[in-house]
Amino acid sequence: MEIFFGAFTSEWEQRRAALLHELSLGGKRRSAEEEMRRRLKARAELGGSVGGGSGSQPKMQRAAARPIFAAETRAADASRPIEARLAAVALGSQPAVVKMASYGAGARVGAMLNYVSRGGELAVENENGERISSREDLARLRGDWNHLFQN
């Protein structure tokens, strides 16, 4: 029995039909690794570059051959104090978004904001990016959100 693979509309149907046909004939299915090796070998024999890069060495071997960090970089990092390294990390960090929920009909919003801002050390912003720095701002925010705390 011969199968016309073009009768199937999608590629996976064609592959499935080819596999089932091959298995019905008693043929052994090649593993994906064997298939990839065969294709890469054929491509290399035709003169194509194996990794897509220029040169005779595959990309993985070139990357593994050179060290990731130079010894000078490691020595410089070790000589800096931990505070300086953490400050450098913090300067490049993204702002945190904290979702706040209150079950005291909004009465605990002030205490929660105080906790989140670490007693005023960190800047707290609302959903519009406006900074909350005074009790008046907090009261206005609580008034805006009051309907959400009525559940």
Show me where the domains of the chain are located.
1-30, 31-91, 109-150
Average pLDDT of the chain?
A: 68
Structure tokens that stand for 81 in this block: 């104090």
Q: Which residues contact 51 (CB under 8 A, 6 or more apart)?
A: 58, 59, 60
What does 46-91 look like in DSSP terms, one character per residue? TT--SSSSSSSS-HHHHHHHS-SS-HHHHHHHHHS-HHHHHHHHHH
Q: What is the mean pLDDT of residues 108-133?
A: 77
Report the percentage of the chain scoring pLDDT > 90.
0
Q: For 50-103, write each residue's pLDDT tens digit.
A: 454 444 555 555 444 444 544 444 555 556 787 877 777 777 766 667 776 666
Q: What letter would DSSP give residue 25?
A: T
Q: Predicted confidence band at 120 (pLDDT cuts at 50, 70, 90)?
A: confident
pLDDT score recorded for residue 72: 45
